[in-house]
Amino acid sequence: MICKKVLGNLETYDTGDKAHVPLNLQWFETTKRIMRKKAEDGHEVVIKLLKEGTRLKEGDIVFEDHDKVVVVNVLPCDVIQVTPRSLYEMGMVCYEIGNKHLPLFIQEDRVLIPYEKPLERLLVADGYDVTKTYCKLLNRLNATVEPH
């Protein structure tokens, strides 16, 4: 199966009674434009997204035939969760994380960062409300520079 564009998302695309086959991706794979993966049913999926800056999202449909649709499933991972107590603290923690050129996710008034023990220690030492958790990283903040 070759995917050259995203056909739609489960939230808005009517798939009828077709089977939903997950294509499991790590959070960092969602920005890759070219990759080869296996869907959960064992079929190989080749992603060749031509448009620059395309990001795959949870629920994106990358392949469809008369029986099934292949749907992006972002896998959960270990995450540092920072719950800011004020707008000022939100700005400060985002600045500190951005200054280290780390990916940043905002979900439900929480700041999420892929887990790194040294960063967790630094944030705790700076007095932020930090928790290690396990969840999906879905809402990545846009940066002016895409990773290579």
Q: Which pairing describes strands 77-82 and 130-135: parallel, antiparallel, or unpaired?
A: antiparallel
pTM for the whole thing?
0.83
Report the mean per-residue pLDDT for the chain: 90
Among candidate residues 74, 94, 123, the one where a domain is terminated: 74
**Do residues 53 and 34 both lie within one domain?**
yes
Per-residue pLDDT reduced to its tens digit, 86-129:
999 999 998 889 888 889 999 888 999 999 999 999 999 999 99
Per the structure, the complete domain to which residue 29 belongs is given by: 2-74
At residue 143 the predicted structure's pLDDT band, cuts being 50, 70 and 90, is low
Angle in degrees, CA 50, 57, 4, rounded to 5: 25
**Which residue type does 53 have?**
G
For position 18, what pLDDT does the model report?
Answer: 92
**Do residues 59 and 112 both lie within one domain?**
no
What is the CATH classification number for the domain harbouring 97?
Answer: 3.30.70.790
**Do residues 84 and 67 both lie within one domain?**
no
